[in-house]
């Protein structure tokens, strides 16, 4: 149980276009999902916290208009990178908290490697 | 904001030996959770072990155990009988009362056959 699926695993897009990344909790309901960015051989940097049915909370320095987050249901959150630029190229990871008995930990998706050319 | 520090960017251990990875954190909260996650080359984050701050007893999961020193804000991971499959990046993580997770910079563990 507690599986988080992230899609796509890899995406290449042209500068100026937008890319949407999906994060789904497959066998549990997640009232809260988190989005991270990870640079090569670096730690995970929390970008935003996504709460179902409400606006996401962004960490300091993260542009909310650049990284649009939608958490429309208890099993799905999306991250849209708008007007992508090469500096947005990175590895993006989502995680979700189970609102049930396992809610002390977060379960991670497989990550999405975004390359902007 | 909470900070998590891992002072060992790289560590190596001989197969079957024991290795300890260090982690310190800074917080003003009294109730929180600490975690160790493993990230193999596949990049999938895998939970290794979890510790509740209100529990004094150190968590143990098979070959993995922690040394949790709350007053010192220290949370080290001990891997016993190291196996080749243990080779990965290890991240220490702090979960705040606001439910955000904050990660250390990671320790790359190499297991030498």
3-state secondary structure chain A: CCCEEEECCEEEECCCCCEEEEEEECCCCCCEEEEEEECCCCCEEEEEEEECCCCCEECCCCCCCCEEEEEEECCEEEEEECCCCHHHCEEEEEEEECCCCCCCCEEECCCEEEEEC
Q: Say which range, A92-101, B40-49, B57-66, has the weakest mean pLDDT.
A: A92-101
| Mean pLDDT over the full length of chain B | 93
Q: What is the pLDDT of residue B99?
A: 75
CB contact under 8 A, B45 and A34: no
CB contact under 8 A, B43 and A44: no
Residue B1 has pLDDT above 60, yes or no: yes
For chain A, say whether B32 makes contact (Cβ under 8 Å): no
The segments of chain A whose pLDDT lies below 50 read: none
The predicted-structure confidence for A81-97, as pLDDT tens digits, reads as follows 999 999 999 999 999 98
Q: What's the rounded mean pLDDT across residues B55-76? A: 95
The predicted-structure confidence for B17-30, as pLDDT tens digits, reads as follows 999 999 999 999 88
If you compute the radius of gyration of chain A from its CA atoms, what whole number of angstroms results? 13
Pick the residue of B7, B47, B95, B101 with the most A CBs within 10 A to test the interface with A by mutation: B101
Residue B35 has pLDDT above 80, yes or no: yes
CB contact under 8 A, B105 and A43: yes
Q: What's the rounded mean pLDDT across residues B38-66? A: 93
Q: What is the pLDDT of residue A1?
A: 61
For chain A, say whether B100 makes contact (Cβ under 8 Å): yes
Q: What is the pLDDT of residue A100?
A: 60
């Amino acid at each position: 149980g507690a599986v988080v699926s992230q899609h796509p695993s890899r995406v290449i897009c042209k500068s100026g276009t937008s890319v949407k990344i999906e994060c789904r909790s497959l066998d549990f309901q997640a009232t809260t999902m988190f989005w991270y960015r990870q640079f090569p051989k670096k730690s995970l940097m929390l970008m935003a916290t996504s709460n179902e049915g409400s606006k996401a909370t962004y960490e300091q320095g993260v542009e909310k208009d650049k990284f649009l987050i939608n958490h429309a249901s208890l099993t799905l959150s999306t991250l849209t990178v708008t007007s992508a630029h090469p500096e947005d190229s990175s590895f993006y990871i989502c995680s979700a908290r189970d609102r049930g008995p396992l809610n002390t930990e977060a379960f991670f998706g497989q990550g999405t490697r975004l390359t902007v050319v | 904001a909470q900070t998590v520090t891992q002072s060992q960017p790289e560590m190596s251990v001989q197969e079957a030996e024991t290795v300890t990875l260090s982690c310190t954190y800074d917080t003003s909260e009294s109730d929180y959770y600490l975690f160790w996650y493993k990230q193999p080359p596949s990049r999938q984050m895998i939970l290794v072990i979890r510790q509740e701050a209100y529990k004094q007893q150190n968590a143990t999961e098979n070959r993995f155990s922690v040394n949790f020193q709350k007053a010192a804000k220290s949370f080290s991971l001990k891997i016993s009988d190291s196996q080749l499959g243990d080779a990965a990046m290890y991240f220490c993580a702090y979960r705040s009362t606001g439910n955000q997770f904050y990660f250390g910079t990671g320790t790359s563990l190499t297991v030498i056959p």
